[in-house]
Amino acid sequence: MQTFKLYSPLRIWYVFKVLLTLYLLIRKRERFLVFSPLSASGLVATITLLGASFIKLAQVLATRNDFFPPEYLSKLKTLHDELPAMDERSMQSVFDKAFAENPFIRFEKEPIASASIGQVHEAWLDEETKVAVKLRREGIETQVKADIRILNAFNVLFRPLFSHYTKNSIEAVITEFASMILKEVSLNQERTNLLKFSEIYADMDVRFPIAYESVSCDDALVMSFEEGFRFDDKDAMERYHIDIDKLIGTLVDFYTEQMLVRGFFHADPHPGNLLISKEGKLILLDFGMVKRVPNETRIAIIEMLKAANEQDYERYVSACKRLGVVAYDAPLSELAEFTERMFEIFKNDALDSSSMQELAFEVLEQTRNLPFKLPQDVIYILRVSAIIEGLGTSYIENFNGIKDILPILQKNIPRALGANESIIETIIDEFQNLPLDLKALRNSIYRISEENLSVELSKPQLETLKKSLSESLSPLIIGFMLLLSSIFVLQLDRSLESVALILFGAGVLRLIFRK
């Protein structure tokens, strides 16, 4: 693979071409000034040349059917996070930096897996303890930080060219991507994620590697070596007589629990990160890409799914607005059209034999011109859902992810919303909180009587207010600036009366015609 210096003109030029292509595709424009977008193949080739950061960014963008046409999406989905291994000198340099003293009695220099962030080697701490050692690529953190600076610089350049809605979406993608990849290049962060997963999901029927903290650092993560075969290895499934239905059920249950009940989920469950033991146990690997879903987002998603399944228009629209999918100022006619299309997915009689993911993305494709956007938390959930459904349909012909998720959600909605397992525990909690609730009610009544009641607005509502204020104040500011400019010109030179008159007239017209 070709390599570039961190800020080489050629690298910056390639980044510019990639981002300009994304801008033109999102805005559905054929060119900008003298520039045309890269072809789908050209975009993928350029991203591959740019390496780790942009491959990761493209994998996130590959879920955005609301951004890109099908030919580009299909090419973006072919990008794999697989790169040639480090040369022996680089590998040895990282190894020496990570381990002041070699803790292994044996270390295999040939990696068993090699990705953009790091590569994995087999090793033995003693004769009986086989481990997997993940080494971080030499210089990857410096490279990623440089790429983020370049991305942010170009984002500032392109920001004025995006619409209000699209700008927020693409800004969210880049901001979230930068945050995620900076965490992913830290193997200390990955070790923390692994330990949290092992603690939070200890009661699930899933196995996680054991981290050896005493010999791990930011450049190397040492874990127990988990024996198993890939989730998509059908021959091995048959050879070991694995119960597919039970395994798929475990996977769906586990990811529903992660994303919508506990809000802490593994965001990269591709087949290489999901192993199956010979006994049929699900094993989860690679905890670099882990997401926390905010409580309000989880609740809005749960309510949206429930309302869509029950065809409840009012609750569905309310949940979409709180989630940020639908703008608070979206036109009612377009909102009704969007909702009707989403409801079609849930009442489709042919759903058992078709792909929910395809139908959902088809709706996103059709609404590209409507004032809707997908928050980045939702994008990760969609991406994970697509991967899970792909794994399910490869074994079960009529598998449907959403249909399987709904009953699990129905059963866990009280827990997802913060209630206890039993009714008695919930009632006890409510009685314990009763004095606080009564005090809060008394304070609210007092504030209302004193006309001192404050209202907290959601982030989407604040965005809408900000946009409305900007649109209202902008013509006033411009108008007054033109009027002041006319006075300034007259003070500067009386012979410029005609110029001052034009400025004054333009200011008056701008104040009168503010729309």
Residue with tokens 């012909």: 397
User: For 435-466, b where at least 16 C-beta lie within 10 A, e where not — what string?
Assistant: eeeeeeeeeeeeeeeeeeeeeeeeebbebbee
Question: What was the pLDDT predicted at 219?
Answer: 94
Residue 463 banded pLDDT, cuts 50, 70, 90 = low
Closest Cα partner for 248 from 360, 404, 382? 404
Distance CA 126, CA 399 (A): 45
pLDDT tens column, 108-135:
999 998 887 889 999 999 999 999 999 9
Distance CA 133, CA 114 (A): 12
Residue 424 has pLDDT above 50, yes or no: no
pLDDT tens column, 289-309:
888 887 777 878 777 777 777
Tokens of 385: 């859902």
pLDDT tens column, 296-350:
778 787 777 777 777 777 787 777 777 776 666 666 666 666 676 666 655 655 5
Average the pLDDT over 68-76 and give the result.
78
Closest Cα partner for 464 from 355, 263, 322? 322
pLDDT tens column, 172-190:
667 767 777 888 888 999 9
Question: What was the pLDDT predicted at 17?
Answer: 87
- Give Dmax over CA atoms of the chain in angstroms: 96
Closest Cα partner for 118 from 11, 226, 8, 222? 222
Percentage of the residues of the chain whose pLDDT score is greater than 90: 19
| DSSP states along 31-70 | -BTTB-PPPHHHHHHHHHHH-HHHHHHHHHHTT-TTTS-H
Do the Cβ atoms of 323 and 375 come closer than 8 Å?
yes
Residue 219 to residues 117, 120, 191: CA-CA distances in angstroms? 11, 12, 11
pTM above 0.75, yes or no: no
pLDDT tens column, 251-290:
888 888 888 788 888 887 777 788 999 998 999 998 988 8
User: Which of 40-44, 156-160, 371-375 is predicted least confidently?
Assistant: 371-375
Higher pLDDT among residues 492 and 386, named by residue: 492
Residue 386 has pLDDT above 70, yes or no: no
| Residue 438, helix vs strand vs coil | helix
Distance CA 138, CA 286 (A): 19
Question: What was the pLDDT predicted at 63?
Answer: 61
User: Which of 38-52, 277-291, 426-440 is predicted least confidently?
Assistant: 426-440
Highest mean pLDDT among 42-46, 51-55, 210-214, 497-501: 210-214
User: Which of 23-32, 153-162, 238-247, 459-468 is predicted least confidently?
Assistant: 459-468
Do the Cβ atoms of 79 and 47 come closer than 8 Å?
yes
Tokens of 183: 């965490």
Tokens of 282: 């699900």
